[in-house]
Amino acid sequence: MIHPHNQGLCIPDCFGCKVQGFGIASKALPTRRSRQNESDRFAEQTMKDVEAYKRLRADGLQPKGTKGAARTEALATTRFEVENNYIIRHKRLAQTVDNAQADIRSAVAVPLEPAES
């Protein structure tokens, strides 16, 4: 039978009082709460991605989103790769694609004549 712990009747250095304040963090039991470790890794990666996204935006680039922004920042060498979240392994091809994208962006669009009514 478990008796309630009466703190009014405790002696100094009471074991019951010590046990009442004892707790175990989920990080101390990785086999019991593996999801805690996964969520910690996810939160850490998300923070890295958000910081990388902010740096890319400060550089004037527009990544597709925050997810994977740290990897994109580390591996991308051209504006096209950052903005499309697509890494081209052949660097000469990546530069060619980026130059083509820049040419398309810089092309002057001729406005259409308004329709006469």
Residue-wise pLDDT tens for the chain (117 aa)?
455 666 677 777 777 777 777 777 766 776 666 666 778 888 999 999 999 999 999 999 999 899 999 999 999 888 888 888 888 888 899 889 888 888 887 776 666 677 666
Backbone phi, psi, residue 17, to 5°: -65, -40
- pLDDT score, position 50: 95
In the block, which residue shows the tokens 């890295």?
48
Token reading at 5 = 């712990």
Query: How high is the pLDDT of residue 33?
Result: 64
- Res 109: pLDDT: 62
- In a domain, residue 20? The reply is no
CA–CA gap between residue 38 and residue 60 (Å, rounded) = 33
In a domain, 91, yes or no: yes
Q: Tell me, yes or no, whether 46 lies in a domain.
A: yes
Residue 112 lies in a domain: no
Residue 96 domain boundaries: 30-105
Rounded Cα gap, residues 65 and 83, in angstroms: 9
Domain count, the chain: 1
**What pLDDT score was predicted for residue 117?**
60
Residues 6+ apart with CB under 8 A from 86: 80
- Given this model, what pLDDT does residue 70 score? 93
Residue 97 lies in a domain: yes
